[in-house]
Amino acid sequence: MLAKNYKTKTHSMTSNTQQVTDVKELKRLKLETIRDFHQDLIDDLEIPRTDFNMKMPFYDKHGRMVVGIFSSEFRKEKGFFFELITRDLTPADADRKVYRVPVSSSYEEEYELNEKGSYLVPLEELRVVNPTSVAIKKTANFGSNQEQALPSSLPKAPMQAYKAPATMEDAPYSEMTIRDYYAIQTGKPVSSKMWLNELIKSTK
């Protein structure tokens, strides 16, 4: 009888352990899927992939919708980025918004600590990230670095209008990248399209 009870308890413990392992693996896979979806933004932000996570919002005892942010997440150099998810680990927002909590040294005074060791940040205080603005800023920084590498004696050419390329070399407006846009607006040949770079050079 004792042996039978021992086997039953052992089986139950093994089953529970397996369930915990399965849940952890599911969360890991879901997180990697979310990171894959936002990889371009992660690259533009120039942050480690591990600095992008997912958070499930919930109501605190005051009736506010909050997310739990840990001490280590408040100390990220460029802030901590994440997407909101539902209880079943799917994106909570059809627009797939990305949120940012800025780096802070006063989070212990600003936010309430819960029993899980995280600090409760109301959703209304979160900052929504604009991926397009981030990408343009990164491209602008790239152009700025290129400009600084040029000799200071070179005059800056004003932006000029240019003729359209040959039909067979043209591309639809919908295929214009942010890098193309920056090249056109600044007159710098930094596009990945060689014909566009040549066109820009020919107008100077």
pLDDT tens for each residue of 127-149 = 899 988 888 887 776 544 444 44
What pLDDT is recorded for position 132? 87
Give pLDDT, residue 98: 95
Sign of the CA dihedral running 162, 167, 169, 173: positive
* 3-state DSSP helix/strand/coil % of the chain, to nearest 5: 50, 15, 35
Give residue 149's pLDDT.
41
Distance of alpha carbon 195 from alpha carbon 169, whole angstroms: 7
Strand, helix or coil for residue 28: helix
The backbone torsions φ and ψ at residue 100, rounded to the nearest 5 degrees and listed phi first, read: -135, 135
User: Under 8 Å CB-to-CB from 19, ≥6 apart: which residues?
Assistant: none
What per-residue confidence (pLDDT) applies to 172?
61
Phi then psi for residue 197, to 5 deg, are -60, -45
Strand 80-84 relative to strand 112-113: parallel, antiparallel, unpaired? unpaired
Q: What dihedral angle (degrees, nearest 10) is formed by the CA atoms of 25, 31, 33, 38?
A: -170
- The answer to whether residues 182 and 188 touch, using CB atoms and an 8 Å cutoff, is yes
pLDDT confidence of residue 18: 66
Are 138 and 46 spatial neighbours (Cβ–Cβ below 8 Å)? yes
Q: What one-character DSSP code corresponds to residue 153?
A: T
Backbone angles phi, psi at 162, to 5 degrees: -140, 160
Those residues of the chain that have pLDDT short of 70 are 1-20, 141-176, 181-182, 204
Q: How many angstroms from the chain centroid is the CA of residue 55?
A: 13
pTM of this structure: 0.58
Which tokens sit at 35? 């990171």
Q: Return the pLDDT at 58.
A: 94
The span from the CA of 88 to the CA of 93, in Å, is 13
